Amino acid sequence: MACKLQPKIIPYRIILEGSFSATTSLAPILTIEADINNLTTLLSDEELSKYIRAICDISISDTTNMRVYPAAQLKNADLSSNIISFDINLLEELSFDWRVPHTDILCETYIMVDTAQMSEDYSIEISDDYKDMKGEVEKTYIIQDSEINSDLIIMDIREVVEAPEEINTDQEVGSNLTQQGVQKDTVAESVNKTQSVGVNMTQQGVQTTTASKPVDKTQAVGTNMTEQGVKRVYSI
């Protein structure tokens, strides 16, 4: 029976822990922290307060593949403050880890009177109409349609699997190619410089040869003058 009691449990912060990798021992832990509102009146009854429980039902589903995982119920009897916390190891309770396909994680929180324990303690029969009396159920999606609920304070400290270092390998190959290109450019520059030097030396050689030609002309003139002198001697 759902008895509309005043108290409500309203989640305000969620902590996601664990890992997406199979090579780590980090367990998938879900922590839910919530405020308890309007519980003072019930707690003032000393006898009744012993049977008041804070409940959090966790359900996980994969709407893409039309799969619903078994649900888990968390109980907390420590209502000494207006803040309460629920912790669950998803692997132990639901055989679930973060690598399992899922689209939705829903938690339902509420205050319940443990009438079964009350019946046992007082050896009385309680009508089915009053069994498991509970207050208003607060439904809160932690993850919905594969998206984390942005209306809550979510601390996602799950370990992410590092991507393979293929990019680094490509960068190294590119670096090697670049270095080879630089080496080729350096060799090419050396060859070009050597060729330039050879051309310059050849050009200089041509210029030197050309420069020596006027000397040859002077020698020719001197020879002609000598020949003319000889001719004149013979004429006298």
**pLDDT recorded at residue 171:** 52
pLDDT of residue 112: 93
Over the chain, what is the mean pLDDT? 75
Within a domain: residue 14? Answer: yes
In a domain, 229, yes or no: no
Closest CA to 105 of 193, 225, 18: 18
Q: Which residues of 72-92 are buried (b: 16+ CB within 10 A; e: fewer)?
A: bebeeeebeeeebebebebee
Q: Quick check: helix, strand or coil at residue 112?
A: strand
Q: What is the pLDDT of residue 192?
A: 52
pLDDT score at 162: 58
112-170 pLDDT, tens digit per residue, is: 999 989 899 999 888 888 887 888 999 999 999 999 998 899 999 998 765 545 545 45
Identify whether 199 is part of a domain. no
Supply the pLDDT for residue 165: 53
Please indicate, yes or no, if residue 226 is contained in any of the structural domains. no
Q: What is the reported pLDDT for 47?
A: 82
The range of the structural domain enclosing residue 91 comes to: 8-162
pLDDT of residue 59: 96
Q: What is the pLDDT of residue 67?
A: 93
Residue 168's pLDDT is: 52
Low-confidence ranges of the chain (pLDDT < 70): 1-5, 161-236
User: In the prediction, which pLDDT does 89 show?
Assistant: 96
How many other C-beta atoms are found inside a 10 Å radius of the C-beta of residue 130? 13
Look at residue 178 and tell me if it is in a domain.
Answer: no
Q: According to the model, what pLDDT value does residue 231 have? A: 41
pLDDT at 161: 63
Residue 111 sits in a domain whose CATH number is 2.60.40
pLDDT for position 160: 79
Query: Which pLDDT does position 173 carry in this prediction?
Result: 42
Domain count, the chain: 1
Q: Is residue 145 part of a domain?
A: yes
Q: Is 234 inside a domain boundary? A: no
Contact of 137 with 110, CB cutoff 8 Å: yes
Q: What is the pLDDT of residue 204?
A: 46
pTM of the model: 0.64
Residue 170 within a domain: no
Q: According to DSSP H, which parts of the chain are helical? A: 40-43, 46-49, 90-94, 115-122, 166-235
